[in-house]
């Protein structure tokens, strides 16, 4: 069967990638470039809706415990009925059993469960000036109480320049330093384990031109239970403060 993503390529190097994933710092993660086949990438980018193309984008906002803005100029959309055919098929493929089996081998996490409702996920679009402060994500899927285990981010930006900012930052659990920065270049897939100390974000305002947005497909994966040493009480997003911030 043909897939939009490079299924056979991923399987051919699964042992090497699993070792890379497990040894990554500050928490298990991997960057996979050239994730989609070229034709699928071009079609997915062409279908990605502009901010004005869908009237009911969710404008995502939140504040930290001190009332300070934590999410600025971020849009989200998860109604797959209004996705283009390639984006809809891609979401289905990445939530299907063949991809779940791949993720289980990559991460060592067994019995993964996809979220077809894409709660908090789906299409994400960051407007110029957008900020997503460093945080750890909610740890239980509302309504099902499943444990959140993995994030997958697939970047669909036709072009991206480093001076625009927008790199995904991974921070250590003490919030003393940023350990990894991953630029959101086209066809880059980032997968990482989520715990209550997997701190990540896009904490500095985007400096892209007014007619450019930072675009991605975000999917999250769950399990029924998790290792004892990772268990924490149910929580929503845990916003963090960088060392130089008040």
SS (H, E, C) the chain: CCCCECHHHHHHCHHHHHHHHHHCCCCCEEEECCCECHHHHHHHHHHCCCCCCCCCCEEEEEECCCCCEEEEEEEEECCHHHCCHHHHHHHHHHCCHHHHHHHHHHHCCCCCEECCCCCCCEEEEEEEEEEEEEEECCCECCCCCCEEEEEEEEECCCCCCHHHCCCEEEECCCCCCEEEEECCCCCCEEEEECCCCCEEEECCCCCCCCCCCEEEEEEEEEECCCCHHHCCCCCCCEECCCCCCC
pLDDT for the residue 5: 98
Q: Is residue 112 part of a domain?
A: yes
pTM exceeds 0.85: yes
Q: Is residue 2 part of a domain?
A: no
pLDDT for the residue 1: 53
Q: Is residue 191 part of a domain?
A: yes
Q: Is residue 90 part of a domain?
A: yes
**pLDDT (tens digit, 0 to 9) for every residue of the chain, 246 residues total?**
599 999 999 999 999 999 999 999 999 999 999 999 999 999 999 999 999 998 889 998 899 888 889 999 999 999 999 999 999 999 999 999 999 999 999 999 999 999 999 999 999 999 999 999 999 999 999 999 999 999 999 999 999 999 999 999 999 999 999 999 999 999 999 999 999 999 999 999 999 999 999 999 999 999 999 999 999 999 999 999 999 887
Beta-bridged to residue 216, according to DSSP, are: 124, 155
Q: What is the CATH number of the domain that holds 208?
A: 2.60.120.620
pLDDT for the residue 55: 83
| Alpha-carbon gap, residue 246 to 241, rounded angstroms | 7
Range of the domain at 232: 7-239
pLDDT for the residue 125: 98
Q: Is residue 1 part of a domain?
A: no
Burial of 120 (0-12, 13-18, 19+ CB in 10 A): buried
Number of independent structural domains in the chain: 1
pLDDT for the residue 66: 85
Q: Is residue 246 part of a domain?
A: no
Q: Is residue 58 part of a domain?
A: yes
pLDDT for the residue 154: 98
pLDDT for the residue 179: 98
Q: Is residue 88 part of a domain?
A: yes
pLDDT for the residue 187: 98
């Amino acid at each position: 069967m043909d897939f939009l993503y490079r299924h056979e390529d991923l399987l051919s190097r699964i042992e090497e990638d699993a070792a890379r994933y497990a040894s990554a710092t500050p928490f298990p993660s991997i960057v996979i470039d050239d994730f989609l086949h070229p034709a699928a990438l071009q079609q997915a980018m062409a279908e990605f809706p502009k901010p004005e193309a869908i009237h009911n984008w969710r404008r995502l906002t939140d504040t930290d415990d001190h009332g300070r803005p934590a999410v600025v100029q971020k849009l989200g959309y998860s109604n797959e009925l209004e996705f283009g055919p390639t984006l809809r098929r891609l979401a289905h493929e990445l939530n299907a059993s063949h991809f779940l089996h791949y993720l289980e081998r990559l991460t060592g996490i067994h019995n993964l469960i996809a979220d077809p409702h894409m709660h908090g996920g789906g299409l994400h679009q960051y407007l110029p000036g957008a900020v997503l402060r460093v945080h750890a994500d909610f740890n239980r899927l509302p309504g099902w109480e499943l444990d959140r285990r993995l994030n997958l981010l697939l970047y669909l930006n036709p072009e991206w320049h480093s001076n625009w900012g927008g790199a995904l930052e991974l921070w250590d659990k003490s919030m003393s330093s940023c350990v990894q920065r991953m630029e959101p270049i086209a066809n880059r897939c980032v997968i990482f384990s989520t715990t209550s100390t997997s701190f990540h974000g896009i904490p500095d305002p985007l400096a892209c031109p007014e007619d450019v947005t930072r675009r991605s497909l975000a999917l999250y994966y769950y399990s029924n239970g998790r290792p004892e040493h990772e268990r924490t009480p149910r929580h929503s997003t845990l916003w963090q403060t960088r060392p130089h911030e008040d």
